[in-house]
Amino acid sequence: MQNVQSYIQDQKEVLVSELIELLKIPSISTDSAFSQDVLNMAEAVYNSLKAAGCDVVEVCDTLGYPIVYAEKNIDPKLPTVLVYGHYDVQPADPIELWDHPPFDPIIKTTDIHPDGAIFSRGASDDKGQFYMHIKALEYMIKAGTLPCNVKFMIEGEEEVGSGHLNDFVKNNKEKLKNDIILISDTGMISNKQPSVTTGLRGICMVEVEVTGPNRDLHSGLYGGAVSNPINILAKMIGSMHDYQNRITIPGFYNDVLPLSEKERQEVNQVNLDDEKIKEDLSIEKLSGEEGFNTLERTTIRPSLDVNGIWGGYTGEGSKTIIPSKAYAKISIRLAPNQKHEEVSLMLKNYLQEIAPKSVKLNVISHHGGEAYLMPTDDIGYLAAEKAYEEAFNVKPIPQRSGGSIPVVKLFEEELGSKSVLMGFGLDSDAIHSPNEHFGIFNYLKGIETIPSFFKHFTKMVMESNRSL
Amino acid sequence: MQNVQSYIQDQKEVLVSELIELLKIPSISTDSAFSQDVLNMAEAVYNSLKAAGCDVVEVCDTLGYPIVYAEKNIDPKLPTVLVYGHYDVQPADPIELWDHPPFDPIIKTTDIHPDGAIFSRGASDDKGQFYMHIKALEYMIKAGTLPCNVKFMIEGEEEVGSGHLNDFVKNNKEKLKNDIILISDTGMISNKQPSVTTGLRGICMVEVEVTGPNRDLHSGLYGGAVSNPINILAKMIGSMHDYQNRITIPGFYNDVLPLSEKERQEVNQVNLDDEKIKEDLSIEKLSGEEGFNTLERTTIRPSLDVNGIWGGYTGEGSKTIIPSKAYAKISIRLAPNQKHEEVSLMLKNYLQEIAPKSVKLNVISHHGGEAYLMPTDDIGYLAAEKAYEEAFNVKPIPQRSGGSIPVVKLFEEELGSKSVLMGFGLDSDAIHSPNEHFGIFNYLKGIETIPSFFKHFTKMVMESNRSL
């Protein structure tokens, strides 16, 4: 059997076209109109794990979308790697901003991706990235180089908060037992400078409904005497940041730990170019919490964003009304040590406190999760470091991410194992945005790097066992 | 020929069913999807003026929707009344809040309307009200009691700011020459206590677009460092009222005249029951500018309302993004003496001033118009007073309205004539809201009152001419 590089070179067309087939399935978990597509996607994942050579492959029912589970067992004395990923995707709206239909994948070259990138919703988040693991396993089985046992757990509700993964994990602790969890659902700095994600922010989300009068009113006849729910909601949102861009929810920063100078230095190893970000986003000025730089603001500090707002007349022309209702979806990214349920409650209480009596308020909490930290002296991190170095010829940098993968904390608590976040995407992949894409270089490099992780991780665990 | 009361009793079924036919035409001027319906409505108005017995009936083209013009001339030595109205209607959204389809009129009785009311978009605003004038004219012609000359000018763009009426009026001053303008596009206090509108607020409207990054961003990767256009827009809107609910736009109150104690007393002749309003609107508390009561807040004081807001993800579930754009439609009702163009500019400047550099702002002004006042010693007012007294057996109260009919000021400036605002609707008609309706009592009483106005007005003008 040829080595991994030449195997990938030979199989390149097949590897890309297989991924493209998966990307055609609009597995949008947040919108019930696509439920059949999500189920079809689970079946496609099942088939690909079967084809890769797993011994056990199961589509496990939950109260929501199923979890696809698989095993390839070699020897119970060898370590076990559990691969986690998700087969559901974000909605594609606003669809009009896509250059091509989001579920009709197309390959185009870009400045960053001279070898081409696949443009499609889910290309990077997370279909392209979990599929690398299936293809890497297939290679290792074919080549007879699989050094340890492998399990797969690919879920279909990550983009809606992994609501049913919790129960699945709690009820299947023995089945899911492992020595390390491997996840590719994050990014790296660049194709020249890989990085391993060592931190994630937590998240909490609420939906706010403000009700004023029981019907839309003529703004001439009532304007000035009846509270307008949009004006009220705007004022409430506006009061959530102070002039230093700090979040004003009482008690919000209580659990945010101050960073030591050493930690701050480690975080700042990553080189962020503010000018390049501004140019990329076509904005004149970056803006955030005083006393922190862009990297810190987006990784170790919490942030609050309104993800959507609506109310009143939004059609063509004008309609001079005081609307009956106004709505907003708000999400907060949490720093390590903040508890999402506590913050969600703080936010609810604060909203109730500042809402005037002239309106009614209804606040619903969506899912949430805590932040996560991976120490750089953990065997999982060290094995990943060696694997990237072997594939990229450059030592990767530990990197905190501002994103959230709430299940990582769940895995640590329930299964007692750490997760290694080996991401191969780039910030420019436009995940959650129109024109999401995943570089073909990144996809293939991922398939190349994973077997190397397996090899180093197994070796390190065996050595560490011997030395015990 | 029988008198007007018995004529109306006999013709009741026909009068109602003719109006119902007009209400079936969805003449929504703000939404271009309905443009053919608006044109069909113009034709229906043309036909009804012909049928009423006018000598001249014309559908006058403009750069927008046509103006239907008609004349019934008796004697050039007699005074001329110009009736103004509009055949376009507000959009019906939110359609799901209507108990019956908005353009499929239905008659139902209510506590306020034991004789029944016609439920349909435009029933009160303004189809039911302008059609009273056509039917009153028809009666006067048939009965041979028409005491003066009459002109009609029924436009199709009132709900979108009468954008082309300006030119039409300026270019047709001779044609439109009149001694008084008669408009039924307002309300009265109750079916037991009629009132004549003696004041209208002005209006100015803007649409705000806030642009942040050039695409929707992942709120995990960018949250904390990139200004969120929804958060910014909310803060800007939130800063437009101070803690006393006064509008904070610099210079905003400069042209608002203080009210004399006498004027304030006249305004407060109308009896408003705060408790009843709260109950009707299902709100716990009324709220507005400190130092003024509900009546004053909604009639003689300016007010600022966001009529619509939108941006980001507004679908089912969640999508954790920083959106690229956020929008709001804002309208301001103006007190007498405020200039709408100046206020519009003040608002624009203020928005530009408070917008941070991290976003781009685009503010578009929509149409606007000045406030209007009708003195209670004007012949037009006095004739209306007598007409209501004759029909209702109660002297009407002069009443300021918080609504805006910008063209009234235009008529005064261009044609030199005052407008009498003889409204027969009620506040509870839900104009601009779901389930708009117009009482059958009000509709028929309007047809009864109008000939009385013609009679008294002509008499008063002739007497005043003789005494000159």
Helices (H) and strands (E) in chain A, counts: 13, 18
A–B interface: beta-carbon pairs under 8 A: 373
**B279 confidence band (pLDDT: 50, 70, 90):** very high
How crowded is residue A468: how many other Cβ atoms within 10 Å of its Cβ? Answer: 5
Does the pLDDT value for residue A468 go beyond 70?
no
Answer yes or no: are the C-beta atoms of A69 and A62 closer than 8 Å: no
Answer yes or no: are the C-beta atoms of A195 and A397 closer than 8 Å: yes
The pLDDT of residue B105 is 98
Q: Please list, residue by residue across A244-278, b when 16 or more beta carbons sit within 10 angstroms of its beta carbon and e when fewer do.
A: ebbbebeebeeebeebeeeeeebbeeeebeeeebb
How crowded is residue A243: how many other Cβ atoms within 10 Å of its Cβ? Answer: 6
Answer yes or no: are the C-beta atoms of B424 and B442 closer than 8 Å: yes
Letter for the amino acid at B40? N
Tracing tokens 């492998």 back to the chain, one arrives at A150
**A374 confidence band (pLDDT: 50, 70, 90):** very high
Average pLDDT on B450-468 reads: 93
How much is the ipTM here? 0.83
CATH code linked to domain B202-256+302-369: 3.30.70.360
The vertex-B377 CA angle with B376 and B379, nearest 5°, equals 105
Letter for the amino acid at A55? D
Q: How many residues does chain A have?
A: 468
Q: What is the per-residue pLDDT across A431-467, written as a single tens digit (0 to 9) for each?
A: 988 999 999 999 999 999 999 999 999 999 999 988 7
Option in B213, B238, B432 nearest A319 (CB): B432
Average pLDDT on A341-345 reads: 96
**Helices B4-23/B128-143 angle, 10° precision:** 140
Average pLDDT on B194-200 reads: 95
Average pLDDT on A99-126 reads: 97
The pLDDT of residue B193 is 95
Answer yes or no: are the C-beta atoms of A438 and A124 closer than 8 Å: yes
CA distance A393 to A387: 10
Positive or negative CA dihedral for B458, B460, B462, B468? negative
* Burial (CB count <10 Å: 0-12, 13-18, 19+), residue A13: exposed
In CATH, the architecture of B4-200+371-467 is 3-Layer(aba) Sandwich (3.40)
SS3 B196: strand
CA distance B82 to B61: 19
Which residues 314-353 of A are in CB contact (within 8 Å) with B?
Answer: 314-323, 326-329, 331, 333
Helix, strand, coil shares of chain B, percent, nearest 5, are 40, 20, 40
**Helices B35-52/B4-23 angle, 10° precision:** 160
**Helices B4-23/B440-467 angle, 10° precision:** 120
Q: Please list, residue by residue across B195-213, b when 16 or more beta carbons sit within 10 angstroms of its beta carbon and e when fewer do.
A: bbbbbbbbbbbbbbbbbbb
Answer yes or no: are the C-beta atoms of B460 and B379 closer than 8 Å: yes
Q: What is the per-residue pLDDT across B416-446, written as a single tens digit (0 to 9) for each?
A: 999 999 999 998 899 988 999 999 999 999 9
Kindly state the DSSP code that residue B425 receives in the 8-state scheme. Answer: B
Helix, strand, coil shares of chain A, percent, nearest 5, are 40, 20, 40
Does the pLDDT value for residue B406 go beyond 90?
no
**B160 confidence band (pLDDT: 50, 70, 90):** confident
Answer yes or no: are the C-beta atoms of A198 and A374 closer than 8 Å: yes
Distance from CA of B60 to the nearest CA of A (A): 23
Answer yes or no: are the C-beta atoms of A128 and A118 closer than 8 Å: yes
**B468 confidence band (pLDDT: 50, 70, 90):** low
Option in B205, B306, B317 nearest A312 (CB): B306
| Candidates A99, A203, A321, A333, partner chain B, best to mutate (most B CBs within 10 A) | A321
In chain B, whose CA is at the least distance from the CA of A292?
Answer: B225
| Candidates A35, A307, A325, A435, partner chain B, best to mutate (most B CBs within 10 A) | A307
**A274 confidence band (pLDDT: 50, 70, 90):** very high
Which chain A residues have a beta carbon less than 8 Å from that of B328?
230
Option in A30, A305, A318 nearest B366 (CB): A318
The vertex-A249 CA angle with A245 and A250, nearest 5°, equals 120
Going by their DSSP bridges, the two strands B180-183 and B419-421 should be labelled as: parallel
Option in B93, B187, B217 nearest A433 (CB): B217
Q: Please, which residues have CB within 8 angstroms of residue B310's CB and are 6 or more apart in sequence?
A: A309, A310, A311, A314, B326, B327, B328
Average pLDDT on B204-214 reads: 97
Average pLDDT on B192-197 reads: 96
Instruction: Please provide residue A438's backbone torsions phi and psi, each rounded to the nearest 5 degrees.
Output: -145, 125
Q: Please, which residues have CB within 8 angstroms of residue B64's CB and are 6 or more apart in sequence?
A: B156, B157, B163, B164
Rg, C-alpha atoms of chain A: 24
Q: What is the per-residue pLDDT across B45-99, written as a single tens digit (0 to 9) for each?
A: 999 999 999 999 999 999 999 999 999 999 999 999 999 999 999 999 889 999 9
Mean pLDDT estimate for chain B:
95
The pLDDT of residue A449 is 98
Distance from CA of A256 to the nearest CA of B (A): 15
Could you check whether the bond before residue A91 is cis, i.e. omega within 30 degrees of 0? no
Residue contact A220–B328, C-beta within 8 A: no
The pLDDT of residue A33 is 95
Decide whether A4-200+371-467 matches A202-256+302-369 in CATH topology: no
Alpha carbon distances (Å) from A30 to A163, A202, A328, A408, B369: 12, 20, 17, 21, 45
Residue contact A358–B287, C-beta within 8 A: yes
Domain boundaries, chain A: 4-200+371-467, 202-256+302-369
For A435: left if phi > 0, alpha if psi spans -120 to 50, otherwise beta; the answer is left
Which chain A residues have a beta carbon less than 8 Å from that of B426?
none
CA distance B379 to B27: 35
Distance from CA of B173 to the nearest CA of A (A): 29
Q: What is the per-residue pLDDT across A290-332, written as a single tens digit (0 to 9) for each?
A: 999 999 999 999 999 999 999 999 988 888 999 999 999 999 9
* Burial (CB count <10 Å: 0-12, 13-18, 19+), residue A166: middle
